[in-house]
Structure 1
Amino acid sequence: MKDWAAPIIAVALFAFLTPGVLFQLPGNHQPVEVVNMKTSFISILVHAVIYGLLLMLFLVILHVHIYV
């Protein structure tokens, strides 16, 4: 049995936290913009920090495991 939690969580977070796809923090004209498909360097940095924190939360702190 292999633990699939890490790749599944990493891919899902990457898909949902890509700047401009679902939301963008900080937005170009507002603090939070929804589905604008545009991004900035600061937004990329903010989303990368959020991605890293959530990945650590799920994999290191909560020890999520999915065995298949």
Structure 2
Amino acid sequence: MSTDWGPVIVAVSLFILLSPGLLFQLPARTRVVEFGNMTTSGIAILIHAFIYFCILTILVIAIQIHIHF
């Protein structure tokens, strides 16, 4: 039997890509969106966590991404 690695790979890649300040930060300290500033705030963490949850739910539950090794 093989295990389903789809949710794990999707979750890890989204966690890396949606880290506040890595690619973008929403909301930023001085503007609405800043790109690659490598700083963060509490509200940015909450917004990025909400975006992460929404995209992860859509990809894993609605689209049902499965990767079997």
Asked whether the two chains share a fold, i.e. TM above 0.5, the reply is yes
> Structure 1 segments of 4 or more deviating over 3 A?
none
Query: How big is the alpha-carbon RMSD for the aligned residues of Structure 1 and Structure 2?
Result: 0.5
Match of 1:32 in 2: 33
Helix, strand or coil for the counterpart of 1:45? helix
TM-score by length of structure 1 reads 0.97
Aligned length: 68
Shift of 1:51: 0.3
The alpha carbon displacement at 1:67 in A equals 1.0
After superposition, give the CA deviation of every residue in 1:8-45 in whole Å (9 maximum; x if it has no partner): 00000000000001100011111110000100000000
Deviation at 1:54?
0.5
Give the corresponding residue for 1:50: 51
Name the counterpart of 1:60. Answer: 61
Q: TM-score, normalised by structure 2?
A: 0.95
Percent of matched pairs sharing the same residue:
46
Cα deviation per residue 1:37-66 (whole Å; 9 max; x = unaligned)?
A: 100000000000000000100111101111
